[in-house]
Amino acid sequence: MNFIFYAFIILLFAAVVLCIEGAYLWWNNYHGPAAKRIEARLRSLSAGGQVSAETLSILKGRMLSNTPMLQRWLLMLPRVGGLDRWLEQSGSTWSVAQLLGYCGLVALCALALVPLLPVPPVLVVLGALLVGSLPLWHVIALRHKRLKQLETQLPDAVDMISRALRAGHSFSGALGMVGQEVKDPMGREFRTTFEEINYGVALDEAMTNMAMRVPINDLRYFVIAVLIQRESGGNLAEILDTIGNLVRERLKLFDKIKVLSAEGRLSAWILGLLPFATAGLILVVNPDFMTVLWQDPIGLKMVGMALGGMTLGVVWMRRIIRIRV
């Protein structure tokens, strides 16, 4: 009896250890560092655009969803490719399925607050839709931050290419040097372009892919200058020096304008959020005081007029303080 009991304990221990090891191996194969590097490489290549239809379908299967049925549903959505490209440009590891799942989860959590809030269900549903878009706004913020980093790193990358050309390196070799020496995210984009060239993609197509992956006007000017120089000839190092100086001066002017318009941007945020913060505070302190806004027809008209006026004011202030350089 004791022998059977001890054997059962040993076998149970071995089964638990094997289950833990199997779970770790599964997680490492799909979510480990190597898997993330491979997925990032596949996603960056698929977001480039210059690939065949068969290759694109295979890569899209990897980056939209791992579930075949969900993959087919996502392919039916309009502009799903643009959403995936936004995820790639943001540097996020989410897929389109994960992004939509997070949006739905946040919206359902907001809907669970219906019995707790003394407001009409219609307003709660609208608020849930607004809150459900928070993961999307998070991706937009990450994309904006990453593009700003790429724009800031571009002059140094262009100068490094110019110095490498003067030292006698080829243009593709200079791209590889930038990919190794410059920090991410700019280094990653140049590494991807350099690897595409090594895999047999033409230089023109590889540069065009980089311009499509990184929607920055300065980088597109750089790509256009390189492509024109390959057709017409000329001193590419001097052209790159001029582009680098122009980008630096533009960034300096933009930073100066950003400082001068800081007060207007802060005023827009305060004026836009203050009514909602005040209404939420009154709703918590004295709920009966706010019920007239959605129980009385005049209150509903007042709310609609207030929201319309606030929207118009925010849009107008944004157009005033948004100066393009």
- Please report the domains of the chain, with CATH numbers, ordered by start residue: 3-43+51-146 (no CATH), 148-249 (1.20.81), 258-321 (no CATH)
- Give residue 79's region: left, alpha or beta (phi > 0; psi -120 to 50): left
Q: Please tell me the predicted confidence (pLDDT) of residue 282.
A: 84
What pLDDT does residue 55 have?
40
CA distance linking residue 188 with residue 190, whole number of Å:
6
The number of C-alpha atoms within 13 Å of 41 and in the hemisphere containing its C-beta is 10
Question: For position 31, what pLDDT does the model report?
Answer: 67
pLDDT given for residue 6 in this prediction: 62
Report which of 199, 178, 205, 202 is spatially closest to residue 190, judged by C-alpha positions.
178
Provide the pLDDT for residue 41: 59
Q: In the prediction, which pLDDT does 129 show?
A: 82
Per-residue pLDDT in tens (0 to 9) along the chain, 325 residues: 565 666 667 767 777 777 787 777 777 776 666 666 666 655 555 444 444 444 444 333 445 666 666 667 776 677 777 777 888 888 887 778 888 888 888 888 877 776 666 666 677 777 778 888 888 889 989 999 999 999 899 998 999 999 998 888 888 889 889 988 888 888 888 988 888 888 888 888 888 888 888 888 888 888 998 888 888 877 888 888 888 888 888 888 888 888 887 877 787 788 778 888 888 888 778 877 777 777 778 887 888 888 888 888 778 877 776 666 5
162/304 Cα distance (integer angstroms) = 57
* Residue that the structure tokens 């892919």 belong to: 209
